[in-house]
A and B are shown apart, each in its own frame.
Chain A
Amino acid sequence: EAGVAQSPRYKIIEKRQSVAFWCNPISGHATLYWYQQILGQGPKLLIQFQNNGVVDDSQLPKDRFSAERLKGVDSTLKIQPAKLEDSAVYLCASSFGTEQETQYFGPGTRLLVL
């Protein structure tokens, strides 16, 4: 079974530029999550989709971050404009969606904002 795919793996940009990350979840998983992991910290949820609807985006900085999940499969996360403090690893995860189900993570995208 193929895992969660993410691209790119690494990205270096200058502040105020824009960047986009892509995620393809495990086939059949209805729920998709984007987490931000700052160095030295545990991952923090940014946004959660159930199919193509947003379930929780309470911790998404909506003035600069946006995300979409068209057709309930792939998802993109965008940052525009980026700030220095956005330097982090962005992890995508997916699950069947029920409370007891395990979330499976992709390899992550490491973003460095200069």
Chain B
Amino acid sequence: AQSVAQPEDQVNVAEGNPLTVKCTYSVSGNPYLFWYVQYPNRGLQFLLKYITGDNLVKGSYGFEAEFNKSQTSFHLKKPSALVSDSALYFCAVKGGYNKLIFGAGTRLAVHP
């Protein structure tokens, strides 16, 4: 069965520093992987996805993610964090019938 793990409940980073939010997955077959961000009292906003092709995927707001098949990981990265990046981040994998299977989420806190 497909599953996603986000091993960190919270990530703290200083503004201007690079950030990484970790995600590992378990799937049978080709993985279709997604990152979403959730701000308080808002729905999920799509950041980026990996379907096939280049292992480095670029997305919205300067975020990117690196797909690593051997490590079954899809970590979210940004070279220089902003205070406004503080939010809840979800990694997801496509399951049967196209449903998304989400991780538990990682809270990113960027400090000035």
Asked whether, in the complex, the Cβ of A56 is within 8 Å of the Cβ of B43, the reply is no
What total count of A-B pairs have CB within 8 Å?
63
Q: Which residue from chain A places its CB closest to the CB of B90 in the assembled complex?
A: A42
- Cβ of A72 < 8 Å from any Cβ of B? no
Most chain A C-beta atoms within 10 Å of own C-beta, residue among B32, B44, B96, B103: B44
Is B46 a contact of A102 with CB atoms below 8 Å? yes
In the complex, per-residue mask of B41-79: 1 if CB is within 8 Å of any chain A CB, else 0: 111111001010000000000000000000000000000
Would you call B25 an interface residue if the criterion is a C-beta within 8 Å of the partner chain's C-beta atoms?
A: no
Interface size on B, residues (CB 8 A): 24
Contacts of A56 on B, CB cut-off 8 Å? Answer: 96-97, 99
How far is it, in angstroms, between the C-alpha of A106 and the C-alpha of B36 when the chains are bound?
13
Q: In the bound complex, do residue B43 and residue A48 qualify as a contact, i.e. CB atoms below 8 Å apart?
A: no
User: Are B98 and A48 in contact, with the CB atoms below 8 A?
Assistant: yes
Can you pick out 22 interface pairs between chain A and chain B where the beta carbons lie within 8 Å of each other? A33-B100, A42-B92, A42-B102, A42-B103, A42-B105, A43-B44, A45-B100, A48-B97, A55-B98, A91-B43, A93-B44, A99-B32, A99-B94, A99-B98, A101-B98, A103-B46, A105-B44, A105-B45, A105-B46, A106-B43, A107-B42, A108-B42
> Smallest CB–CB gap between A92 and chain B, Å?
8
Q: Which residues of B contact A107 (CB under 8 A)?
A: 41-43
B104 touches A91 (CB 8 A): no
B-side contacts of A31, CB under 8 Å: 98
B96 CB, min distance to chain A CBs, angstroms: 7
Q: Are A108 and B100 in contact (CB under 8 A)?
A: no
Bitwise, A1-33 to B at CB < 8 A (1) or not (0) is 000101000000000000000000000000101
B98 touches A102 (CB 8 A): no
Given A91-B43, A99-B32, A101-B98, 17 other A-B residues pairs in contact with their CB atoms under 8 A: A42-B4, A42-B103, A43-B100, A45-B99, A45-B100, A56-B96, A56-B97, A91-B44, A95-B98, A100-B32, A102-B34, A102-B49, A105-B36, A105-B43, A105-B44, A105-B46, A110-B41
